[in-house]
């Protein structure tokens, strides 16, 4: 059995972040429920936060931490507006399937 490293290497965090980001992109592209699509975006933002904190730890600076706080704040503001928009869509159409919200065309 190979010896485990004393602490988790930083590159693992970056790989995890890249995987989470890709999962978010895949969810955005392939899921059909608006709420799930919105959650996929939140997953992407969290992946970004993980990268920021990892880099911040590596560089021994606080800039990355501060950036990730701002990302959280903005994500909260975006969620407030986004859920309100999703609610009005649901009120007018009684559906949360993204394919059914496509009346705008030439």
Q: What is the largest CA-CA distance in the chain?
A: 63
- Asked whether position 61 contacts other proteins by CB under 8 A, the answer is yes
Distance between CA 53 and CA 19 in Å, rounded?
16
Other CB atoms within 10 Å distance of the CB of residue 24: 20
Candidates 12, 26, 85, 95; binder of other proteins (CB under 8 A) is 85
Burial class (CB in 10 A: 0-12, 13-18, 19+), 68: buried
Binding mask 30-59 for other proteins (x = CB under 8 A): ----x--xx--x--xx-xx--xx-xx--xx
Q: List contacts with other proteins (CB under 8 A).
A: 21, 24, 28, 34, 37-38, 41, 44-45, 47-48, 51-52, 54-55, 58-59, 61, 63-64, 66-67, 70-71, 74, 77-78, 81-82, 84-86, 88-89, 92-93, 101-106
């Amino acid at each position: 059995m190979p010896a485990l490293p004393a602490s988790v290497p930083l590159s693992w965090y970056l790989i995890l972040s890249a995987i989470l980001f890709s999962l978010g992109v895949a969810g955005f592209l392939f899921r059909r429920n608006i709420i799930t699509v919105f959650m996929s975006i939140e997953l992407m933002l969290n992946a970004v936060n993980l990268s920021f904190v990892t880099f911040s730890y590596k560089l021994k600076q606080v800039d990355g931490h501060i950036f990730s706080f701002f990302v959280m704040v903005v994500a909260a503001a975006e969620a407030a507006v986004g859920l309100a928009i999703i609610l009005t869509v649901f009120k007018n159409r009684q559906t949360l399937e993204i394919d059914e919200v496509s009346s705008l065309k030439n």
